[in-house]
Structure 1
Amino acid sequence: MDDLGEIVDEFLVESHENLDQLDGDLVALEREPSRDLLSSIFRTIHTIKGTSGFLAFGRLEALTHAGESLLSRLRDGVQPVTPETITALLAMVDGVRALLASIEEGRVEGDIPIDGLVAQVNAQIADAAAPPADAPPADAAAGTGEATVSVDAPAGAPDEEARRPLGELLVESGAAVDTDVNWALEKQTGGDERRLGAILLDEGKTNPAAVNDALAAQGRRSVADATIRVDVDLLDSLMNLVGELVLVRNQLVRAATDAADPVIVRTTQRLNLITSELQEGIMKTRMQPIEQLWLKLPRVVRDLSTTFGKQVRVAMVGAETELDRSLLEAVKDPLTHLVRNAVDHGIESPEQRVAAGKSAEGTLTLKAYHESGHVTVEVIDDGAGIDVEKVRAKAVERGILAAAEAARMEPREVMMQVFAPGFSTAEKVTNVSGRGVGMDVVKTNIERIGGAVDVDSTLGEGTVWRLTIPLTLAIIQALTIDSGDDRYVIPQVAVHELVYVDGENTRIEYVSGAPVYRLRGKLLPLVRLDAALGRPAGTDDRGVYIVVLQADGRRFGVVVDRVLNTEEVVVKALTSRFKEIGIYAGATILGDGKVALILDVPALARRSQLSADLSEEDDAAAESADDSSRLLVTAVGARRIAVPLDTVTRLEQFAAEAIEWVGNREVVQYRGRILPLVRLSSLLGVEAAPPGDTVSAVVYTERGRSIALVVDGIDDIVESTTTDHEEVDDHGILGSTVIAQRVTELLDVRRAILAADPQFYATTGESVLTGAWGAGPGAA
């Protein structure tokens, strides 16, 4: 009985694999009928039928027999392949899958109804025209010039074929003739102890290359002999053991760096090499091509296309890309949801596509590739694309974003709102989508395995949904860093670059107390790791590192004290207490034996509440203050003053005690020079805010000269698209407008500076502090 149970288990495993393949093959057959594909499908169904009969699963045998009969007529050309026949065959496959699930659960077929499915398949046979009596299937097959496949061929045929006599293989390849081979066989019969190949070579009847090829073909194992099935639990156990071995390897390598004995050093290096090869081999046993996950998706697309009256073709690129088996299971549901969403919302109806100048048939492309130590999976459609303004309006309507925040968001950031819980732009709810449930689950599930999601879309052209997935969950490449006395690990997949801040040539700036760093013309928002983790924040910005990361489609930097090294770490699960904190993805043991927590980068970004606007490119030239431009909004007393961002060289904060006087002008020592200050409150006749310990200033540089406009605070950086403003007659004020639902005055920087110093723009004229305002790098 135990032997029979093993046979049933083997039958179930093979049948499930075959059914997954059948889904894709039947959809492909509908698009491009092929005799080879039909024969393959026929053999698969015949195998399931034959084994089910042997195991006395009568209902399963009856259902597959009906499908086999229909496939036989299609294969032999008796009737054509039509959408109706494919639909019937797919229904039959679903019935087989249900029966297998029942057998797996209770070792019996249960009461799964099959009569309707058998009738549906038989109806396709009855509706087809009967073949002529004088044209049997065998003749039809012969007419095509293809050999008829015998479905009753013995199971051992492949093995016998692989072990054919050497002489037969040589004759078949043309390397020898029958008479020479028979002559060599007669010599062996007469007592010659040499091998057949040796006799033919010694007598010059063939060549060594042909004999080697024939021997290789003769000894080649069959597919069945070349593979074995291994229990997944055993692979998981091996993976855990290799993980522990990697930890020990890391500790030995760390200890051996200080060893004086060259034998220990060489032995450790050898152990390092063997461990790496063993780790790679074990990981390969768990790796499977993503094609196994994609096989079911053409069937999903076909069913949805039929339901919604659309025409969608599925294309696959990089199907051979491999992923850890556990990750394939984790990605299956999110990927299926993205495909269903693309067919339902992305690709238009044939009439809409033709009206838009497109082909009636849409294309859904599944693409996978390796990149920077992880796998990227893309779902690409050539549909209508995402309407950013519609998403922006819906986000405000549903309370996901404030109106002011939504107005200043970049299009890419707006599109990321489709992953917010409860978000949906669907005008009607279907049984597929439209309830606002799903996209947030996609994001959550992918981030749970250490991955990331992204979306890029062009209105009218299509959308790209991008999933970034680690190769494995057990062992990852990671960056080890220090913050204070604590050590942490950041997954390498999230790290874009490292920046060292020395406090002199490179330094951290502040906007309304929030740290930022100017990286290649962009203001990069920063997170102080010690402050984010609830520890006292450091005050010294010298000699620190910025780890540039990306999460939720946004780049930001994490300020840390030290960057140690990059190494492979073994991910250990956290207890529920640590998981509740929500900022750690796991833990690991480092080479020196210390325990380090692995940071959850997306959670760190959300917890720090990064401002989306600080990542904008702040040095882009603005045409004018009343055109589409970026504005720095400042506070001057009770008034809001907007400064064109292209006039801002730097944002600074000076200590109040650092301000000195030269004549009747306030100055401050700045980067080795004397920088004059202009208080906008005095210039505009506004009552300034009470003095504090620091002074906020906007540094402006022109022709090598610099001046600092002192404000009470820096509020925000916004995108202004308004063209209407009220003119005012005030020194340095161009007019006023409404920004983020508040009246904001537009500063005319040139007039304001001339009111404070009429000689500032003079090319040769003397200024109050002309000698102090030297040109050069220090002036900026």
Structure 2
Amino acid sequence: MDMNQYLSMFIDESNDHLQSLNENMLQLESSPDDLGIVQVIFRSAHTLKGMAATMGFEDLASLTHQMENVLDLVRNEKLKMQDFIFDTLFKSLDALESMVQDIVQGGEGKADVSSIVASLQAIVRGEGAVAPSAEAASTQQPDSAPVYPGIELDEFQYSVLDQSIAEGHKVLYIQVKLREDCQLKAVRAYMVFELLERSGEIVKTYPDVQEIEQGEFDQTFSLYFITQKDPINLESQILNISEMDTAAVTNLDHESLQQMVQQSAATAEPVQKENETSSTSADAIATTSSKNEGSGAPSPSKAPSKNTGTAAPSRTIRVDIERLDVLMNLFSELLIDRVRLEQLANEAKNQELTDTVEHMSRVSSDLQNIVLKLRMVPVDTVFNRFPRMVRDLAKSLNKKIDLIITGAETELDRTVIDEIGDPLVHLIRNSVDHGVEPIADRVAAGKSETGTVHLRAFHSGNHVFIEIEDDGRGIIRENIINSAIKKGVVTEEQAAALSDEEAHQLLFAAGFSTAEKISDVSGRGVGLDVVKSKINSLGGNVTIYSTPGRGTNFSVQLPLTLSIIAAMLIKMGSEKYAIPLTSIVETGIIKQAQIRTVHGTRMIPFREAHIPLISLSRVFEVPDFNESTEEETEIVVIRKGERLAALAIDDFIGQNEIVIKNLGKYLPSIQGVSGATILGDGQVALIIDPNAFIK
């Protein structure tokens, strides 16, 4: 076995261990006294450290060793888990994941994690200090110390600064004032940040970074900064930037840092009282935990329950994805030949040949089921990233959220699994940010402080449904309509005629957002339009159900597999096409007299309603067929979500299982065509994409 094979094994195993560490850390956060979970976490970290050291990735091994030291104290009951310890360990896991990704991309797994290591070492020494309480705020502040109200630190930020001083780093308090005639405040502030980030780490700013980036501040901003650079040199470099008025750089020691924090807490208290109901307050975001401390309620985004006992021996093997793709391609060719043999046996009318072909068909059908199951992957491989994501979002948004996952064992084709992750990220972030209300709003509405987001998956027919449901404020029609009119998505006249369902669909318009303020989470109008286009490209669709005041449900419908599907084969003159059975409602025959033209669109009656009639011969410019010359026309009624349409065709060939083939890079994308298949007689038939015909 060569080194590349060892590296591949290391990457796979490392990702498994990191996922296990994230899941078990989330469990431990909800049950901090459960030493059984700590033992599992410690073993995973120890194994990861040994693997990294063996492969020569010293930075990765060193950081994991520092985590081990903290976990060893916890499992020996010499240290109690606290919020700032959880935050530090989660940051360590993020750093480890970044290192592994660097290795995947051909790097050496190196990263600057000195601040994280310093925090872990401080925890081991028992110096993970809590920021001084407001009671000590009366301590006399030296006249020479800078004063700038509002820049408060949480426990973790204070601990990082304090331990950086202990480790010999310089901790600076920098206050910058721009000239009164400065026209581009945000640009000048960005230039200051860029200068500083080249030589150290910015821990906290006032105002918040988002407000500074948008120019929503007076001429002054301040920050805490960790560096090894000379303060006087930094001050001169800042003043060299255009339109700077003053730059005050103060080097802090343990005592002056403590006094600074006390002064900020005292001077910012009146401001906090005024803004205590604001869910977007920067200080509230920095200092409020999303955990239900001491309430016994489930912690936010808790991971699925795992058995912390000894695991049973694994009965699985790792198979390279490319090998499965080759196996599927070979089986696809076998399926094409099977259909051809069935046709030849019917034509030859030889009983022995017919019996043999029928037996081969049964065997190949069983083989087909096995091959397809090999490609099926539990959606858990996608879902397992979300508990940690929801936890971090809840903390940053000052919300309490419980993520409940059901149906994680539901299986989907690997091709779908690879593509569905990003759309689900957008939908869950949307539920956490827009759906679940801030704590104060939930209490005022008579709800519990902790919001709930359900992530569930289940089979239904030949589809898998994934639902993201929250118990938040629901979708307010007026907010959508007003935002859509403001952004020019619809006119006031069009908006007045929209049903609630059609109004909900406006959320998927490109650039649409109801967020009043741009943040790291949302507000830029990028997200739901990407979700819809990606899901449609997979042959699925997404539907919104919402009740104001009670919550919203995003339901994503996906095909089980994208490689072999059941289809209806049809004729259009001398050409053959395939329509996926999952999109067909029914087939039928209509007479020319039943066709009506409404505003330039041909319509036909269907179940006490009228639906559009689409001529495939015109769309695909079929030269030897035109249904308008026929007295009766055969139709296929197709569905996209709740919308229906009818396709006019020449004749039906019959149902069959077909193998989807890409059209390749040499052909441009063709509207209404999702791929092609090879029929039993060797002919190529285009596969129709019904979604393209229903807007």
Structure 1 CA distance for aligned equivalents of residues 447 and 626 of structure 2: 57
Residue matched to 2:112: 113
Letter in 1 for 2:8: D
Among candidates 457, 477, 492, match of residue 388 of structure 1: 477
Residue matched to 1:412: 501
Residue matched to 1:93: 93
Residues 416 and 553 of structure 1 are in contact (CA less than 8 Å); yes or no, is this contact kept in structure 2? no
Q: CA deviation at 1:366?
A: 0.9
Residue matched to 2:428: 339
Residue matched to 1:702: none
Among candidates 649, 652, 655, match of residue 563 of structure 1: 652
Structure 1 CA distance for aligned equivalents of residues 554 and 668 of structure 2: 28
Residue matched to 1:313: 402
Q: Are the structure 2 counterparts of residues 19 and 435 from structure 1 closer, same or farther at C-alpha, using a change threshold of 3 Å?
A: same
Residue matched to 2:612: 525
Question: What secondary structure, in the 3-state scheme, does the structure 2 residue paired with 1:47 have?
Answer: helix
Deviations 1:718-755 (A, max 9, x none): xxxxxxxxxxxxxxxxxxxxxxxxxxxxxxxxxxxxxx
Letter in 2 for 1:28: Q
Structure 2 CA distance for aligned equivalents of residues 38 and 522 of structure 1: 62
Q: Are the structure 2 counterparts of residues 542 and 465 from structure 1 closer, same or farther at C-alpha, using a change threshold of 3 Å?
A: farther
Residues 569 and 578 of structure 2 are in contact (CA less than 8 Å); yes or no, is this contact kept in structure 1? yes
Residue matched to 2:190: none
Residues 539 and 691 of structure 2 are in contact (CA less than 8 Å); yes or no, is this contact kept in structure 1? no
Structure 2 CA distance for aligned equivalents of residues 354 and 83 of structure 1: 24
Q: Are the structure 2 counterparts of residues 493 and 39 from structure 1 closer, same or farther at C-alpha, using a change threshold of 3 Å?
A: farther
Residue matched to 1:12: 11
Question: What secondary structure, in the 3-state scheme, does the structure 2 residue paired with 1:592 have?
Answer: coil
Higher relative contact order (CA 8 A, sep 6+): 2
Structure 1 CA distance for aligned equivalents of residues 652 and 369 of structure 2: 27
Structure 2 CA distance for aligned equivalents of residues 29 and 526 of structure 1: 59
Q: How does 1:596-745 map to 2 (within 5 A)?
A: 596-606=685-695
Q: CA deviation at 1:233?
A: 1.1
Letter in 2 for 1:516: M
Letter in 2 for 1:588: T
TM-score (norm 2): 0.69
Q: CA deviation at 1:321?
A: 0.6
Structure 1 CA distance for aligned equivalents of residues 517 and 55 of structure 2: 49
Structure 2 CA distance for aligned equivalents of residues 460 and 494 of structure 1: 34
- Asked if 1:65 is matched to 2:65, the reply is yes
Residue matched to 1:469: 558
Residue matched to 2:230: none
Structure 2 CA distance for aligned equivalents of residues 559 and 399 of structure 1: 36
Residue matched to 1:36: 36
Among candidates 561, 571, 582, match of residue 493 of structure 1: 582
Residues 11 and 104 of structure 2 are in contact (CA less than 8 Å); yes or no, is this contact kept in structure 1? yes
Q: CA deviation at 1:553?
A: 4.6
Residue matched to 1:762: none
Deviations 1:351-388 (A, max 9, x none): 11111121111111111111221211111111111122
Letter in 1 for 2:22: D
Deviations 1:406-452 (A, max 9, x none): 33232112211211111112111111221111211111212222222
Residue matched to 2:628: 539
Deviations 1:205-259 (A, max 9, x none): xxxxxxxxxxxxxxxx9734x2222211111111111111111112222332333
Residue matched to 2:637: 548
Structure 2 CA distance for aligned equivalents of residues 545 and 402 of structure 1: 39
Q: Are the structure 2 counterparts of residues 129 and 312 from structure 1 closer, same or farther at C-alpha, using a change threshold of 3 Å?
A: closer
- Asked if 1:248 is matched to 2:337, the reply is yes
- The percent of aligned pairs where both chains have the same amino acid is 36
- Asked if 1:460 is matched to 2:459, the reply is no
Aligned residues: 511
Q: CA deviation at 1:512?
A: 4.2
- Asked if 1:433 is matched to 2:432, the reply is no
Residues 543 and 561 of structure 1 are in contact (CA less than 8 Å); yes or no, is this contact kept in structure 2? no
Q: CA deviation at 1:61?
A: 1.9
* Higher Cα Rg, which structure: 1
Deviations 1:266-310 (A, max 9, x none): 111111122222222222222211111111111111111111101
Q: How does 1:319-398 map to 2 (within 5 A)?
A: 319-398=408-487
Q: Are the structure 2 counterparts of residues 548 and 75 from structure 1 closer, same or farther at C-alpha, using a change threshold of 3 Å?
A: farther
Residue matched to 1:483: 572
Structure 2 CA distance for aligned equivalents of residues 289 and 54 of structure 1: 31
Q: Are the structure 2 counterparts of residues 407 and 489 from structure 1 closer, same or farther at C-alpha, using a change threshold of 3 Å?
A: farther
Structure 1 CA distance for aligned equivalents of residues 94 and 75 of structure 2: 21
Q: How does 1:32-431 map to 2 (within 5 A)?
A: 32-33=31-32, 34-106=34-106, 108-110=108-110, 112-127=111-126, 223-224=313-314, 226-431=315-520
Q: CA deviation at 1:520?
A: 2.9
Residues 79 and 129 of structure 1 are in contact (CA less than 8 Å); yes or no, is this contact kept in structure 2? no
Q: Are the structure 2 counterparts of residues 264 and 35 from structure 1 closer, same or farther at C-alpha, using a change threshold of 3 Å?
A: farther
Structure 2 CA distance for aligned equivalents of residues 541 and 512 of structure 1: 23
Residues 592 and 628 of structure 2 are in contact (CA less than 8 Å); yes or no, is this contact kept in structure 1? no
Q: Are the structure 2 counterparts of residues 91 and 440 from structure 1 closer, same or farther at C-alpha, using a change threshold of 3 Å?
A: same
TM-score (norm 1): 0.62
Structure 1 CA distance for aligned equivalents of residues 546 and 7 of structure 2: 49
